[in-house]
Structures are given as C-alpha cells and as structure tokens.
Amino acid sequence: MTTVGFIGSGNIGTTVAQLAVDAGHQVVLSNSRGPDTLAETVAQLGLRASAATSEEAAAAGDIVVISVPVKSFPHLPAAPLAGKTVIDTCNYGPERDGHIPELDSNALTSSELLLRHIPDAMLVKAFNNIFYKHLLSLARPAGAAGRSFLPIAGDSTQARAAVTKFIDSIGYSVVDAGPLTDSWRQATGTPVWGTPYGPYSNEKGQPAGEDAIRAALTAAAR
C-alpha cells in the first residue's frame, strides 16, 4: 500500500484518488481552499481518504500528485516535496494562466518550469493527456484485454519506476516518453493529448494500446 498525497483536487486529481483508493492505497487530499471544503469528496472516497493542507499532503505522500493551474506553481510547498516522487498532471493554458514567456517560446516545458519551483523533487509527467472521465472508465487490471497505456516523462529512473508501479496498480500500463525536456510531446494539443482515447462525447472512451501512444508521441511537432 502506498500513501498518495494530492495538491489540487479537481477532476484529474479526484479521479486519480478514486482509482488509488479502489486499488487499496491511502490518499490525502488538499486544495487551495482548505481541508474543510473537501469533506464531501473524502466521504465519497471512503475510509482510505482524508483531507489536509497542501503542506500536510505533501509530507504524508510516498508519491505526491500535483494537479493545479500552472500559474499556481510559485505557491507550492517546496520543502516537504524535497526527495519525493512527484507526478505532474498540469497543462499550460494561457487563457487561464496568463502568458508565460518561457512556455510561449518553448524555452521550457511546463514540467521544467514546475521543477524550478520544487527543485529537489523527482518529477514525472503523467495523467495530463487524458480526459478525466476516460481515465476513470478505461482502467483495467494487468493482463486484461483492452488495457490502455499512458505516456510518462521524467529525468529520474527511480521516480519513473515508482510512477510506473503506481500507474500499473490503478489500471494502466505506461509508455516511457523520455526526459522532462521531451514532455512537450504529451502537452495540450499534441496527437497524444486526448485523441487516442476517443472524443469527449463518448464518456466511456476507447482503449489506447502501446503502439497508438508511441505513434502519437512520434507524430508530435512544435
């Protein structure tokens, strides 16, 4: 059993938490509005879930999932994330985040920008390319027909292994998409972003195998 801390409890964060609880993990949720606002979510998730501050969730997690707007990166609790495996689910959207010159110019990926704010974390990009309803409905046990793949990117071999094990436990296989410098290949608007899992109008989604994910990553262009 792993304890997974969550900084940000929107659609993706809550969905990953649901899959984690279903797989037998403990989850500690947090958001920017305080633990009391997560009481209903915690009740729905059950006895393996609790709510805390962002600092407490970061400290509690063996793995920590960050699922916040990019503009919120400067407010993340860096100290308790030092040495932790951290999953970055975040996507840059100028209409929400404002224009960030390093991202607009492709000088950095959003994950590399995040790492500037939590420099001692071991960061892995994952879960940012799939619609949350598809993420919930497409989970399958290891070896099951129709098991889908998710791309991950990261610089730490240790962290990639930990994230791969966690993702496997909640119903997905992974495709290693390379280091954080290559994480743009799974960013908003790329071929692997959403498309392999079917349209949003089909809330159940469609399975996406390893070949489909690798082809989509290869087809990405800036």
Q: Which fold has domain 3-219?
A: Rossmann fold (3.40.50)
- Closest to 214 measured CA to CA, from 152, 155, 158: 152
For 149, the 3-state DSSP assignment is: strand
For 57, the 3-state DSSP assignment is: helix
Query: What is the spatial distance between Cα 153 and Cα 87, in angstroms, rounded to a whole number?
Result: 10
Reported as a pLDDT band with limits 50, 70 and 90, residue 97 is very high
Residue 1 pLDDT > 80, yes or no?
no
pLDDT, tens digit, 9 for 90 and up, residues 177-186? 999 999 999 9
pTM above 0.95, yes or no: yes
Q: How many CB atoms lie within 10 A of CB 222?
A: 7
Pairing assessment for the beta strands 149-154 and 122-125 based on DSSP bridges = antiparallel
Query: What is the spatial distance between Cα 169 and Cα 19, in angstroms, rounded to a whole number?
Result: 9
Pairing assessment for the beta strands 3-7 and 26-30 based on DSSP bridges = parallel
Residue 42's φ and ψ, nearest 5 degrees, are -60, -40
Task: Enumerate the domain spans of the chain.
Answer: 3-219
- Closest to 219 measured CA to CA, from 197, 194, 186: 186
pLDDT, tens digit, 9 for 90 and up, residues 130-168? 999 999 999 999 999 999 999 999 999 999 999 999 999
CB 95 within 8 A of CB 70: no
